[in-house]
Amino acid sequence: PQHFSFSNTKIMASEELTPIQEFYKDATVFITGGTGFMGKILVEKLLRSCPEVRKIILLVRQKKGQNAHDRLASIFNDVIFDKIDEKSRLKVFVVDGDCSKPDLRLSETDRQSLEQEVNIVFHAAATVRFNEELGLAVAINVLGTKAMIDLAKDMQHLKAFVHVSTAYSNCHLNEIKETFYPTHIVPEDIINIVTSLDTPCLEHLSPYLLRNVPNSYVYTKSIAEDYIRANSKGLPLAVFRPSIIISTKAEPIPGWIDNVYGPTGVVVGGMTGMLRTIFCDPEALADLVPMDMAVNALITTATTIKSGNNNNDQEEEPKIYNFVSSPDKPVKWNRFFKYCEKYLVPSMHAGWYPQLTMHKHRLAYKLDMILRQLFPALLIDILARLTFRKTSVLTMMTKIDNFIEILSFFATRQWTFHNNNTVAMWESLDPKDKQLFPFNFKDHDWDSYYKGYMAGARRYLLKEEEKTIKAAKVKHTRQFWLNAVVQGIMGIGVFSLFFNFAALPLFQLFLKYFTT
């Protein structure tokens, strides 16, 4: 296996470094989750804006037949790295490992190198599937964190360790401050349960373990935070809690995103006409944050540990930073979808006219979903079978319904987030760093952001070039009129059913009463 090596090569800065750039000068940065959405933006930003960073090391596992080095090569093919020259790319190394395996499955050689050389750690690896099987979620989110803490304690030159959690790690509470909250079970107990039970038993026990927590993702994130609180004494550590992360605002390019998790999945489903209705409270706050702003705050968080907010005092807990938008620039879900509608660019992938309806009540959502999603899907599958074609539209619609049910917990509730530490962090920055690493929501404009957001969803998720916009608009207009005709026919049908089975009998009874 190929191992990373270190050299003393330095890049001379063309101008004076800012305080944040100075912090990362000659530093070796170790990142877990570096191949994910946040990880890629983090790597790109460090290479571009911290020119004298020494090395960036990514923990990467083999996946789909690709080894760690092949995966790194494929990552650099992404458009977001177009601004990074070859010399800077040579600073990035990989070590073969897996956060779900004991001791991260590191070789002894790689482990020793990490212990001797790493200065800054960003632990961002996690399973982000909300409905992940509990055993795997614990293995990655809890045991992976435990393994990283154990490794960090052996790092000889560590000056900052930032654990990436989520603002919803304690979503069973209505008010969430920048502090640790107790869990109903200690981390060691859940680890013992998961490692001693087989999968069927664990699935049966999961509802009891989760209690009032909606899914295994936030549950294990909460457990991981509690493990850090109890086991990180002496480590220069901080916890970074972003809310719902969506596409980039400006860097390295506007509107970039590589996944359909969360509300972006809803938007893409709506753009293609596949998603017609959602279970969502229009008046609830949508706490969304652009990825590049989140990464800027994450990079800054590491520097605050250096300035005295570390955990060397045995009585002091690690500092927590809630990175949220609602305290400064709140946006409700109805406004979010209005922005999306305003800046919708028609898609060639649209199978029907985009028309998304929000329902605050579950019953209304279910009825609308059956009428406008499941029933048409069933008709399409029946017609396909009659013509000897294979389709699974009904199966796809069922999966979409499950997806909406998972998201509904966050779309039908509202939380009060505190972000005092994050605000103080921003206010303490040097003016040059504020320009280089912006993350203040008081200066943020959602209207201009969503123009890039919608264009990015079309370009980077649906893979549609600008040259297809004209044809897509023509298709969009045709679908509008076809949708109007179909809705008119359905309206007449519903009225006829009501008239024949309800109104007509009542009218006849009325006539009979007065004629007698």
Q: Which residue has the higher pLDDT, 153 or 479?
A: 153
DSSP sequence for 30-98: EEESTTSHHHHHHHHHHHHH-TT--EEEEEE--BTTB-HHHHHHHHTTSGGGTTS-HHHHTTEEEEE--
Mean pLDDT over 268-276 rounds to: 92
Q: What is the pLDDT of residue 211?
A: 86
Q: What is the pLDDT of residue 63?
A: 84
CB atoms within 10 A of CB 362: 12
State yes or no: pLDDT of 153 exceeds 70: yes
pLDDT in tens, 103-126: 999 999 999 999 999 999 999 999
State yes or no: pLDDT of 309 exceeds 70: no
Domains of the chain (ranges; CATH) run 19-256+286-329+415-450 (3.40.50.720)
Mean pLDDT over 320-331 rounds to: 97
Q: Would the CA dihedral through 506, 510, 511, 512 be positive or negative?
A: positive
Res. 512 pLDDT band, cuts 50 70 90: low
Distance CA 158, CA 118 (A): 6
pLDDT in tens, 68-89: 888 898 899 999 999 999 999 9
Distance CA 269, CA 256 (A): 17
Please give the share of the chain, as a percent, with pLDDT higher than 70: 91
State how far the alpha carbon of 212 is from the alpha carbons of 88, 170, 183, 186, 408, in Å: 47, 10, 12, 16, 15
pTM of the full predicted structure? 0.89
